[in-house]
Amino acid sequence: MDTDREIISSRVLRAPVARVYEAFADPLRLARWWGPEGFTNTIHEFDLRPGGKWRLTMHGPEVGHYENASTFRVVEPNRSVAWTRSTQPLFDMEIRFEELSEASTRITFRMTFATVAECEKVKRFAGSKNEENFDRLERELATMTATP
């Protein structure tokens, strides 16, 4: 893979890998944390299997509704989920779930673009926005820990 066409963001989370995966695999939970700070989500379709569709609208905090459509390519519970976006910006996305211990997991987002130019456009904001996404995920994981 060409690293100049990739954006990679990663964080170690204090949660077991199964819990981190569940926060993604459960569309009700996913809707609460997906995207940058201030965004809300309406998930229209979430068929988590290879060939399954994921359609959602991300609602910006001030203005704007952002339609997203993707097709899942890889679904390996507690290990990896990958999809191809069919709405702009176009890229392939992979999320890796790496168990570090019984109580910690590294999550990695890998966005791969067709061209360096497309990657550079998104790179200007993606790093900080992915960090906000991880912040929101950590808050969601805390609610999962608090409930039996």
Read off the pLDDT of residues 90-140 as tens digits, 9 standing for 90 and up.
Answer: 999 999 999 999 999 999 999 999 999 999 999 988 888 999 999 999 999
pLDDT at position 146:
62
What six digits make up the tokens of 57? Answer: 């609208």
Other C-beta atoms lying within 10 Å of the C-beta of residue 26: 15
Closest CA to 25 of 131, 148, 144: 144
- pTM of structure: 0.92
Q: Domains in the chain, start-ordered, CATH in brackets?
A: 3-35+78-146 (3.30.530.20)
Does residue 16 surpass a pLDDT of 80? yes
| Total residue length of the chain | 148
Q: Is 92 left (phi over 0), alpha (psi -120 to 50) or beta?
A: beta
- Tokens, residue 129: 């926005």
Q: What is the DSSP letter of 5?
A: G
